[in-house]
Amino acid sequence: MSRRKTTMASSSLTKPQMRGLLAKRLRFHIVGAFVVSLGVAAFYKFAVAEPRKKAYADFYRNYDSIKDFEEMRKAGIFQSAK
Amino acid sequence: SIHLPLESSDKTQGVSSPGCLKEGLTSSSVLRANLQDTLDSIQEMSFRAAWSLVLRKGGLGMRGIHSPGGTAHSKEKMPPYTSYHAQRSYPMPDEPFCTELSAEQQALKEKEKGSWTQLSHAEKVALYRLQFHETFTEMNRRSNEWKTVMGCVFFFFGFTGLLIWWQRVYVFPKKPITLMDEWKAQQLQRILDMKGNAVQGLASRWDYERKEWKK
């Protein structure tokens, strides 16, 4: 059933975009996807991965495993080394 | 003057449009809106009022009596209305809104079979109203239903909380020994002694010299 569009003679609406709608949407979303994924990756690298690497490097720089072991032994957690 | 094609005033104008015989539906949709607002105002009241709200909401769900088309997707014929129900996802149902036409409306329908340039603006509006109950704007108008829904959702959250509280008091068995505070403290001490996750985790937050959590 067709609907009649009733407009006054004097008013004329601008012609809407008729073509290339999918292309426009695809471009927007592909660019956005690249930007968002690169942004998230960069954020993760500099907020999570780099600090973690630094924390491990700092921990093991002056780490004395024998001293650590003696502390644990004195605390009494081992069964085979009292 | 420039105005939108189908204002509400167009319902009363027109050469031969006394309105659909089911014009009472317009007032019933207004009535339903008023009913909706009344429901929202009742929401804040006591438990009993909330219960009556639930009952009335159930009554709304059975709105086949007061509005066209029964429930949103039923196709039963409820006299004297047809199963016309338009919504945003299904805007142009198969059947026209008005099928029982008065003599004037039938004459208009006959005129529609001729050239449409002969129709006046008011006649076009009348024909539209016969075929479709509301304009897209009217059909898509927002409502306050979400407030009712959220209110009922929160109400049932609260009721469930009460049930779970009762359950904890009267149903749960005694706490196992491993959940007692003394046991948990000894367990934490053992983890700290073992230096569990000493780089970034739990033991890294403990100050071993001062025997307290790091600030």
pLDDT tens for A32-75 read: 999 999 999 999 999 999 999 999 999 999 999 999 999 999 99
| Stretch 47-76 of chain A: residues touching chain B, C-beta under 8 Å | 52, 55-56, 59, 68, 71-72, 75-76
Q: Is B193 on the interface with A (CB under 8 A)?
A: yes
Q: Do A8 and B6 touch (CB under 8 A)?
A: no
Print the domain residue range for A58.
22-75
pTM summary value:
0.52
Q: Minimum mean pLDDT among B27-31, B58-62, B86-90: which range?
A: B58-62
| DSSP-assigned letter for residue B206 | E
What stretch of H or E contains B213?
strand B212-213
- Chain B residues with CB under 8 Å of A6 CB are 5-6, 121, 124-125
**Residues near B1 by Cβ (< 8 Å), separated by ≥ 6?**
none
B64 pLDDT more than 50: no
Return the pLDDT at B48.
60
- Rounded distance between C-alpha atoms, residue B23 and residue B30, angstroms: 12
Interacting residues of A52 by C-beta distance below 8 A, sequence separation 6+: B200
CA distances from B157 to A38, B46, B58, B160, B190 (A): 40, 16, 19, 5, 40
The total domain count for chain A is 1
A16 lies in a domain?
A: no
Q: Is residue A11 part of a domain?
A: no
pLDDT band at A26 (very low <50, low <70, confident <90, very high): very high
pLDDT in tens, B114-169: 999 999 999 999 999 999 989 999 999 999 999 999 999 999 999 999 999 999 99
**CATH number of the CATH domain containing A34:** 4.10.93.10
